[in-house]
Amino acid sequence: MELLLLVINIFAGALLLAALVRIAWPYFSGGRKQRRRGTGGGADRDTLHTSAE
C-alpha cells in the first residue's frame, strides 16, 4: 500500500513539474529567443535580401 502511494506521489510530482516547466519555459527561453529573432533575425534577413538582390 505504501509503495502504491509512493508511485502515485512520484507520478503526481512529475506531472506538476512538467506543467510548471511548460508554463515557465516560454518566459525564460522562448521569450528571449523570440526577442533575439525579432531583432537579429530581421537584420540577418535584410542583409540576405540585399546580398541576393
**Is 0.75 surpassed by the pTM of this model?**
no
The pLDDT score that the predictor gives to residue 28 is 76
**What are the extents of the domains in the chain?**
1-43
Cα–Cα distance, 52 to 47 (Å, whole number)? 8
Length of the chain: 53
Residues 6+ apart with CB under 8 A from 17: none
In the chain, the N- to C-terminal Cα span, in Å, equals 71
Choice among 1-5, 14-18, 19-23, 27-31 with the minimum mean pLDDT: 27-31
C-alpha triplet 30, 36, 37: angle, nearest 5°: 85
The pLDDT score that the predictor gives to residue 1 is 87
Cα–Cα distance, 2 to 41 (Å, whole number)? 54
